[in-house]
Structure 1
Amino acid sequence: MTSTDIKNDRLLRVAKGQVEGIEYPPMWVMRQAGRYLPEYNATKGDNDFFAVCRNKELASTITMQPIERYDLIDAAIIFSDILVVPQALGMTVEMIEKRGPSFPQPLRDPKVDLARLSKNVDVVAELGYVFDAIKETKKKLGGKVPLYGFVGAPWTLMSYMIEGGGSKMFTECKKWIFQYPEESKELLQMVTDVCIDFLEQQVVAGADIVQVFDSWAGELAPHDFREFSLPYLRQISAELPKRLAARGLEKVPMTVFAKGAWYALEDLCESGYDVVGLDWTFDPAEAVKIARGRVTLQGNLDPNTLYGGRDAIKKGVERMLKGFAGAKGRHIVNLGHGITPGVNPDDLAYFFEQVEKIGREVYGQAKQ
């Protein structure tokens, strides 16, 4: 199936800067297939999180749940996790209930631990279950909306691999970049190579658009971001289209989401991606000025607004959409980070409804 076979291609068109005929911004939310939905919890049951990811029927069922619940969503995103890449590299990753991801044996000493990682990773062999889930989901979607594939950014994945999970201080991974900069870059390159292979195979399997999640970008100082994150993000955006062209496949839109990297928006707009995702700390109007129409912007309502009640949601949507009005239609609505487990699904529905209602008003005024 090509992009021309997708019935609702609004999001793909906006991602490419093709805004003619778009009456309100396309929308989806990060982690939209997740724990806030009762149907997700019923499907997952007591199964291990990664076991669910490895089961194409369960993963595709969960991917479809928000699409089946919310008519206004303009894209699905495959149910998986960024930490499948470290698993492909030979690391053990566990998902601990109410705690999150854990690496029992994190990387600590580059002189010893780099040798533990697999060389020449075969992503089809190691991560074939993701591609199977994408294929199964595409069948179930039947061209209704496009499907996102995704990967974690090299810096973010390296942080997890060294810290052993989430972190507040990032002491261990920063010790690497300051004490062992060349070994850090060796690790980042290893991860980057797998990320590119992984995204390539996701598109081969049927992903219509991809996103790179640099969840810990904001933990780096600006000069460190430009040394230890940005070059690898650029490698991904430059290499993937070449890989697809060599296969005779059309280029898919690419999104980069560097959470917390407010200082790097200019760099991100020049990093080779079609869409730049923004967290809630960005002022939309200022982001529009910096972007200058070079990319489509995505975001950026604070996810916690969804706990504030209908009035807060409506005001937040109105403020966001008016802030992005200067983008002249080059805007994909999303939250500034993933939706959280305690959100009432009906409040998310109200969010989508307000995006359509207010979006039509804002877009109509912009055309006058």
Structure 2
Amino acid sequence: MEKNGSIVPAEFPELKNETFLRAAQGEQTEYTPVWCMRQAGRYLPEFRETRAAQDFFATCRSPEMCCELTLQPLWRFPLDAAIIFSDILVVPQWTLMSYMIEGGGSNTMAKAKAWLYRHPEASHRLLTLLTDVIVDYLVGQVAAGAQGGTEEGRGLKVAPMLQALQLFESHAGHLGPEQFAEFALPSIRSIAKRVKNKLLEDALPAVPMIIFAKDAHYALEDLAQSGYEVVGLDWTICPQDARQRTGKDITLQGNLDPCALYAPKEKIGELVKKMLEGFGSQRYIANLGHGLYPDICPEHVGAFVDAVHIHSRHLNKCS
């Protein structure tokens, strides 16, 4: 079957693990699903070995390599979602507005922020162009079909999974409330609305969408009303406060400090238990408050995943 120029399998295998999707859609779950931002990353020795074979953009253009990197974390851990390996760096090559202006990484984003102050009209035009491309990119991902067949390799049966889409605003903390409301929030809202409308128009499946705006403490209410089923949180936000401010119809995702995974495994379990008690085990997807760091021990990632499953099942039995 062909849609939008992409070949889509006529029949997908039966979905075996829909816990993540059910949580994202606000449905009851037996336990809290868990995944980690950057779970397909440099903390895994097999990732480093695979990536050493060719440069980054060649990897992004290789379906075989992307599949391998996507599945590596699932061969190690009982995660409830897989990240299709790619990067926003491909739209366009060398990423979006802040890096386009800065020319690289920055601790202050001073050049990008100066552009917003000095050239607001041009900034809006650039953000509109990027929004158009992002909408097409996300719809294209759904059209391509992220659900795959059962993987029997390496002694572990990996269940096929349907899709969700996560949008990042990684530099919300550099903007502050006024610039976020003027420049970032309109695009965030537009992307959600236009993606959902285009999926409907193209007879493609509706998928839950997640918005993760790092350090956007000041905008939780706005993010909860921006058209996304899930709001991701960084580790500086109190779970109870986030619940109160976002309302009962939003699923929350997050927000363990990534550095907590440097702690002993027993301490990781205690921190996960406290986090789950703060969020509750329903309408919740466990994650870190940002991505995994390259020097985190894989065994500690496994301890995090296991603790979420164990403690959330216990919470559900007690509730």
TM norm. shorter chain > 0.5: yes
Q: Determine if the alignment matches structure 1 residue 182 to structure 2 residue 182.
A: no
- Tell me the equivalent position of 2:285: 332
Q: Determine if the alignment matches structure 1 residue 9 to structure 2 residue 15.
A: no
Superposed, 1:203-242 pairs within 5 Å as 203-207=142-146, 208-242=163-197
Q: Determine if the alignment matches structure 1 residue 39 to structure 2 residue 23.
A: no
Q: Determine if the alignment matches structure 1 residue 79 to structure 2 residue 34.
A: no
SS in 2 for 1:203: helix
Q: CA deviation at 1:303?
A: 0.4
- Tell me the equivalent position of 2:228: 273
Distance in 1 separating the partners of 2:256 and 2:316? 18
Output one character per residue of 1:261-311: Cα deviation in whole Å (capped at 9) or x when no partner. 011000000000000000000100111111221210000000010001113
Q: CA deviation at 1:26?
A: 0.5
Q: CA deviation at 1:324?
A: 0.3
Distance in 2 separating the partners of 1:342 and 1:45? 17
SS in 2 for 1:221: helix
Q: Determine if the alignment matches structure 1 residue 308 to structure 2 residue 269.
A: no
Output one character per residue of 1:76-126: Cα deviation in whole Å (capped at 9) or x when no partner. 111111111122xxxxx3xxxxxxxxxxxxxxxxxxxxxxxxxxxxxxxxx
Structure 1: 5+ residue stretches without partners: 88-92, 94-151
- Tell me the equivalent position of 1:322: 277
Identity of aligned residues (%): 49
Q: CA deviation at 1:4?
A: 8.8
Superposed, 1:50-89 pairs within 5 Å as 50-70=57-77, 72-87=78-93
Superposed, 1:112-131 pairs within 5 Å as none
Q: Determine if the alignment matches structure 1 residue 162 to structure 2 residue 112.
A: no
SS in 1 for 2:92: helix
Q: CA deviation at 1:23?
A: 2.0
Distance in 2 separating the partners of 1:262 and 1:358? 27
Q: Determine if the alignment matches structure 1 residue 295 to structure 2 residue 272.
A: no
Q: Determine if the alignment matches structure 1 residue 357 to structure 2 residue 296.
A: no
Of structures 1 and 2, the one with the larger relative CO (CA 8 A, separation 6+) is: 2
Q: CA deviation at 1:10?
A: 0.6
- Tell me the equivalent position of 2:202: 247
Distance in 2 separating the partners of 1:230 and 1:167? 22
Instruction: Report the AA paired with residue 25 of structure 1.
Output: T
Distance in 2 separating the partners of 1:357 and 1:274? 25
Q: CA deviation at 1:46?
A: 4.4
Distance in 2 separating the partners of 1:184 and 1:45? 37
- Tell me the equivalent position of 1:142: none
Q: CA deviation at 1:365?
A: 2.1
Q: Determine if the alignment matches structure 1 residue 343 to structure 2 residue 309.
A: no
Q: CA deviation at 1:312?
A: 2.2
Instruction: Report the AA paired with residue 299 of structure 2.
Output: D
SS in 1 for 2:100: helix
Distance in 2 separating the partners of 1:261 and 1:292? 17
Task: Please say which of residues 333-342 and 311-320 is displaced more in the overlay.
Answer: 311-320
Distance in 2 separating the partners of 1:276 and 1:38? 31
- Tell me the equivalent position of 2:112: 173
TM-score scaled by length of structure 1 = 0.78
Distance in 1 separating the partners of 2:62 and 2:41? 16
Distance in 1 separating the partners of 2:205 and 2:55? 36
- Tell me the equivalent position of 2:141: 202
Task: Please say which of residues 158-167 and 275-284 is displaced more in the overlay.
Answer: 158-167
Distance in 1 separating the partners of 2:318 and 2:170? 35
TM-score scaled by length of structure 2 = 0.89
Distance in 1 separating the partners of 2:173 and 2:101? 17
SS in 1 for 2:91: helix
Instruction: Report the AA paired with residue 15 of structure 1.
Output: A
Q: Is the 8 A contact 1:256 1:275 kept in 2?
A: yes
Q: CA deviation at 1:250?
A: 2.1
Q: Is the 8 A contact 1:3 1:9 kept in 2?
A: no
Q: CA deviation at 1:241?
A: 1.0
RMSD: 1.5
Distance in 2 separating the partners of 1:248 and 1:220? 37
